[in-house]
Structure 1
């Protein structure tokens, strides 16, 4: 969960190397060649691979991913080692891309270390060969540097093969004049061909001049500039604002020691900084002092902050330095220092409103280059509407040449994608470059341009490979590719345009999408919204308005939906307005900075909508249990000042019903203390009223909290004198459980044993009752008295099959003996009570766990099948991990993640889902009392507990443990009482959709079994049994799944239709 503090220091820096690194914005293709990366696949050599040597334990293996050889390192779990280059040199200040393949053989713990000795990246190897790659910047004096691949505290063997080291260019996002792609097809543009020293230059090439350039982590919103250093990003130690550095980089943090320093330069040409703030986070500290200095010229410095411990540092730039065209910020250490910085944030106020711009950086993989024709890539395709390839080409050959450009885009599967408008992703641009006409007079020529399909915005979500080939007179002189991640936030491949007027285009899409505020209206069209649901089922959809001018006083009226004489009343259709949160620190590779949709506050009639922005309205249709089946139709009436529209809606109601209690069990935490605080409640009566609204919301979403009676636990009293026994009062507890496990449909119930020990991987404590310690005869007798009564009571109430005890969390191997003792105690004291443990199956624990609950990513289907044969059951959980490419619970992940989680549960035989809490709204570490976080303004879930003391900042991810929002949108200032229930989220809705999908599969299983037993519907069984399997096209495993929900939605429709056909066949 937490970043380690280890740092593999390079020899040069350890011995006091001090060379400052100067960054160049653009690198020529011929610059930065690594001198002599010999034997990258380890095929050559005699007693050891040529050009490599081993430090630590390892071997030159006689098998490889390709060829006949590879190398390995081996560890004990307490050591480290690596293979390193011999004779390799890096060019000073050059930018490189490194790539390698790795796998493990029975390895546990620790991590892979990789890359140059001055810039390490950690990875966790899997059993299959996997490629990893990142970019990095070389120091100015890399004479002692080397490339190495190895391990840190791994127990077992790790193998490496097929190393790549290439120069790269950093291509940043360009906005305004010069931004975007090539000139529109068919246009003729006069450009100047200028002769002079160095050959022929192309002046006026698209993207070559003007505009604002922003890299990864940079954004401008209005007059506010922000840079959040992308230390987790593809560029590792590199970023556009990085000016100089003399500091080791490890994975996601700068590691300072012995006068190390890092300098950032913040400059937006033509827009001076009027005010500025600098923030940094020291995540690790064992000695010395750190400083934050600022200046306006990079030579003269003013110290604005110092620190000597872990925590957040924040400082204002002094007014006497402002306004400033450029501001330099230096992070430095004294000679005794040993600390790390894992976050750097600079914000400033500029002199003008510049609109909204978010930067990005791509690092090119250059396969071909020609020194006679240097090519610099200025921009390439992205999510920006006007983006595309633009290049600067220099002709140093001394003779005229005719250049052609060809660009392609392929998706993650390697398929060449069709771009906007249906054009091929491949096209060309020809530029004829002549010589000089008269002395000192540029010769004008014509550029005949054809629209490049790659010049439009990327529209396919995921990791796209964009490739550019440049030819001179038909000969390839440049070829480069880049991975361009299009987060699902910017996916524009889905949705259906509705009939509407030009003043406010209307479109709609299904629920499992996250609609960005800026994506264009879809090109596909439908005349009406079309959805389907069974009885006692929920079906969401999104209706999106995009007004051209500000829309005032929007009102919505939904008509009754009619099917013959049957009516679905409008009160069964809930309308919410999608709200957006500004993600500043993406959780992982799936996310990006920007405005992500998540909260779903109830729609308020009379709402105003801003112009030129998508405004999704979230509709949830609930079909009552007694609703007649059939095809229903109605309308959604929209009106605003000077505008109105009618949207048809069609609903098919299937002829079967989902049950009240579903079979996919759930266990989600709910903190009633946070409810009291954020709702500003003072009395228990107020808390009970609001808590009931939260529990009702859980019930409506088919999700069970850990405990439906947090204010009414059963009361245990121990008689410790005379006869040792327990007396239990269940009255209040039973009242609440009867309501929520009955009418509410909750299908799981967490139970505790008073006096039981417990703990986590962080710390633990043994059990105690009064003066009797765990293990004493008196303790055993009292626990047995309590446990036997509890089990008998749960059995009598019919709740024992729903009950589980969750007393230890995420044990480490060192905790196993303690956990086994506790599990044995529970079996003795409360036989029949399900013993749950949040851990993957481990042989040492076999026979002591009834219900395994590992984190997603820690278990495979084979292990689940094996332990299921032994009579053990499985749930699993999501929390601050795993990260992409795994499914996750985060705001900045695909909407389908939390729905498809249930499909993978079905596929692998998992019977339940757990999340540690649902309303984690603030962190006592990041926001020490009396401060409080506002989850409406800050989506990040900051670490707390364990060793996170007040002021220490850690990041669990955007939205971790936060599926519901408080109705109080300004908890810092709004101290009025809020007696209403919670605000839903898109992720909360997707959880319910997944649970209902899982139940639909269960109904199909039931009907298949009934059909086989009765001999009916035999003709439907082959198709039904095929549909009962979750297809790989929906989800193959915990990290391979379709981010596009259409395969899921298509399969669900088929399953629902089959359930209906089987149901009708069997009841005839």
Structure 2
């Protein structure tokens, strides 16, 4: 920053670890930054962070933030660089967190109140970029009172290109297509009509390759004067399937509870009439999927979630339904998740329930926290089924922590390292867009009541904007974890192709995972080890 006279209001542009949750009252932890460095592979959405503190006692800082073109082996136009502000949101228990990353307007305008700290993120995509060093400038241009400031920005693109696909099943229970305009629980779902393709693109950009087809989009049997009708209207279902097919696996969420347990016709679950109706309905759905070109290995069905303790009725219902599905088509895949409301349960319910359902299902999503249970993990691994982990913001039975207040690094980036080290088959978070009302506002309930169990918008990593999805620091932590996983897997493959170097580099890979996972309180380690892994990949490829 240029030297300012004592009569000129002062501000500081500085940087700190991106995963430290910023607060408006933070004072600078570092002096004026001399430059911002962003390191990236080819085909990566790279990012950097910086903060601005307005040190004035009474003068707000109104300014424009702009990037110049970035020069190197080629020119990167400034319009290809996005700057976002981390917006502060309050929750009902008094916490304030800067989670959503809101793009600046076309003018790049910002307002920093007196004695206030604001955090900003810079994004640049390096797809098809030439490796090498690039240099540009970040300019803060105040409208009045304050002096302008120019910060050099250095972008280093290495020669390693990340693949488009991650070799891991990734899932987020995305619900952006379920909107129909009617009230939902205590609020109204954000209106995403006309933006569905943007939300789909956002999932792909964040490494998601397994997609939900919500039960509200399924056509159900109809009771017409006591007679069941199976004249099914697949219009909404087809729109969602066509948007997602060919991009990964589909999870058809049937969610047999409430009215759906009776197939929307008031049938008694499990009796002869129900079994016949369910079988006929499933055959129609499966045939329709085949006609749409969906192969068996591209789809799985979810019927029940085992998310409560000692819920043996749901276990029985799942086993009964799964046996019917096996009779319809033994190759159909069945997905089940468990433990959401009780991820740290120390009782043996989950283990007993799993022993009953494992022979009948194909994919099991376990709470990430339950990786600590070695006996249960061994049971799952020995089953030879596809075992995923998923992030839950439950910390005990019926006890939720606002997901915006979870550590973005520890809960959204670090699990991808653990999944690699544990050789899991999939990773998931609940959820990217499972909104219940306004994700920006904890006070949306009409009667001013509040239930953590109902307020599932708190679990979402994506916010709705007028022009489409708005990312968050947690969603970006997940994306960076996906890129970490790609690098770890690429090194594993490179080691397998070079027998002479296996001992040295296998030790490096093991040490990288061990240190990043066990020293989870040091968020710098993931970046440091990622670059050591990248250097190892390039070294092996050059031999």
Give the Cα separation in 2 of the matches to 1:594 and 1:696: 32
Task: Give the structure 1 partner of residue 440 of structure 2.
Answer: 936
> Which of these residues, 132, 149, 156, is aligned with residue 645 of structure 1?
149
> Which of these residues, 889, 903, 924, is aligned with residue 417 of structure 2?
903
Give the Cα separation in 2 of the matches to 1:768 and 1:1058: 57
SS in 2 for 1:627: coil
The Cα of 1:1019 is off from its aligned counterpart by 3.6
Task: Give the structure 2 partner of residue 468 of structure 1.
Answer: none
SS in 2 for 1:1035: helix
Task: Give the structure 2 partner of residue 750 of structure 1.
Answer: 251
> Which of these residues, 805, 810, 813, is aligned with residue 301 of structure 2?
805
**Cα pair 1:879 1:960 within 8 Å, conserved:** no
**Cα pair 1:917 1:961 within 8 Å, conserved:** yes
Structure with more relative contact order (C-alpha pairs < 8 Å, separation 6 or more)? 2
Deviations 1:154-191 (A, max 9, x none): xxxxxxxxxxxxxxxxxxxxxxxxxxxxxxxxxxxxxx
Question: Are 1:571 and 2:79 counterparts?
Answer: yes
**Cα pair 1:563 1:633 within 8 Å, conserved:** yes
SS in 2 for 1:616: strand
TM-score by length of 2: 0.78
SS in 2 for 1:891: helix
> Which of these residues, 123, 127, 137, is aligned with residue 620 of structure 1?
123
Give the Cα separation in 1 of the matches to 2:489 and 2:231: 41
Deviations 1:738-764 (A, max 9, x none): 55444xx4x3311256xxx7239xx98
Task: Give the structure 2 partner of residue 954 of structure 1.
Answer: 451
Task: Give the structure 2 partner of residue 537 of structure 1.
Answer: 44
Give the Cα separation in 2 of the matches to 1:1052 and 1:862: 31
SS in 2 for 1:639: strand
Which one has a larger percent strand, Structure 1 or Structure 2? 1
> Which of these residues, 809, 823, 832, is aligned with residue 322 of structure 2?
823
Question: Are 1:562 and 2:44 counterparts?
Answer: no
Task: Give the structure 1 partner of residue 103 of structure 2.
Answer: 602
Task: Give the structure 2 partner of residue 985 of structure 1.
Answer: 472
| 1:834-983 equivalence runs, <5 A | 834-839=333-338, 840-841=350-351, 842-859=354-371, 860-882=373-395, 890-897=403-410, 898-919=412-433, 922=436, 935-938=439-442, 953-956=450-453, 960-967=458-465, 978=466, 980-983=467-470
Which one has a larger percent helix, Structure 1 or Structure 2? 2
Task: Give the structure 2 partner of residue 254 of structure 1.
Answer: none
SS in 2 for 1:668: coil
Question: Are 1:693 and 2:191 counterparts?
Answer: no
| 1:701-780 equivalence runs, <5 A | 701-703=206-208, 706-707=211-212, 713=217, 737-742=241-246, 745=247, 747-752=248-253, 758-759=256-257, 765=261, 774-776=270-272, 778-779=276-277
Give the Cα separation in 2 of the matches to 1:710 and 1:691: 17
| 1:505-524 equivalence runs, <5 A | 505-523=12-30
Gaps of 5+ in 1: 1-498, 586-592, 679-685, 924-933, 943-948, 968-977, 1013-1017
Question: Are 1:1032 and 2:519 counterparts?
Answer: no
CA root-mean-square deviation: 4.0
Give the Cα separation in 2 of the matches to 1:522 and 1:1035: 26
Task: Give the structure 2 partner of residue 226 of structure 1.
Answer: none
Q: Compared with structure 1, are the counterparts of its residues 805 and 1064 closer, same or farther at alpha carbon in structure 2 (3 Å cutoff)? A: farther
Give the Cα separation in 1 of the matches to 2:289 and 2:436: 37
The Cα of 1:784 is off from its aligned counterpart by 6.1
Q: Compared with structure 1, are the counterparts of its residues 1057 and 867 closer, same or farther at alpha carbon in structure 2 (3 Å cutoff)? A: same
The Cα of 1:981 is off from its aligned counterpart by 0.9
Deviations 1:42-66 (A, max 9, x none): xxxxxxxxxxxxxxxxxxxxxxxxx
Give the Cα separation in 2 of the matches to 1:602 and 1:657: 27
Q: Compared with structure 1, are the counterparts of its residues 517 and 883 closer, same or farther at alpha carbon in structure 2 (3 Å cutoff)? A: farther
Gaps of 5+ in 2: 5-9, 184-190, 339-349
**Cα pair 2:47 2:121 within 8 Å, conserved:** yes
The Cα of 1:534 is off from its aligned counterpart by 1.3
The Cα of 1:507 is off from its aligned counterpart by 0.9
How many pairs were matched up? 499
Give the Cα separation in 1 of the matches to 2:65 and 2:464: 24
SS in 2 for 1:838: strand
Q: Compared with structure 1, are the counterparts of its residues 687 and 1031 closer, same or farther at alpha carbon in structure 2 (3 Å cutoff)? A: closer
**Cα pair 2:138 2:153 within 8 Å, conserved:** yes
Q: Compared with structure 1, are the counterparts of its residues 846 and 960 closer, same or farther at alpha carbon in structure 2 (3 Å cutoff)? A: same
The Cα of 1:808 is off from its aligned counterpart by 0.6
Q: Compared with structure 1, are the counterparts of its residues 834 and 1063 closer, same or farther at alpha carbon in structure 2 (3 Å cutoff)? A: farther
Deviations 1:600-624 (A, max 9, x none): 1111323222122212111122111
**Cα pair 2:174 2:434 within 8 Å, conserved:** no
Give the Cα separation in 1 of the matches to 2:304 and 2:279: 22
SS in 2 for 1:646: strand
| 1:68-107 equivalence runs, <5 A | none
The Cα of 1:846 is off from its aligned counterpart by 3.0
Give the Cα separation in 2 of the matches to 1:709 and 1:696: 18
Give the Cα separation in 1 of the matches to 2:537 and 2:134: 20
SS in 1 for 2:404: coil
Q: Compared with structure 1, are the counterparts of its residues 717 and 919 closer, same or farther at alpha carbon in structure 2 (3 Å cutoff)? A: closer
SS in 2 for 1:1031: helix
The Cα of 1:1008 is off from its aligned counterpart by 2.2
**Cα pair 2:220 2:264 within 8 Å, conserved:** no
Q: Compared with structure 1, are the counterparts of its residues 633 and 669 closer, same or farther at alpha carbon in structure 2 (3 Å cutoff)? A: same
Question: Are 1:654 and 2:163 counterparts?
Answer: no
**Cα pair 1:804 1:836 within 8 Å, conserved:** yes
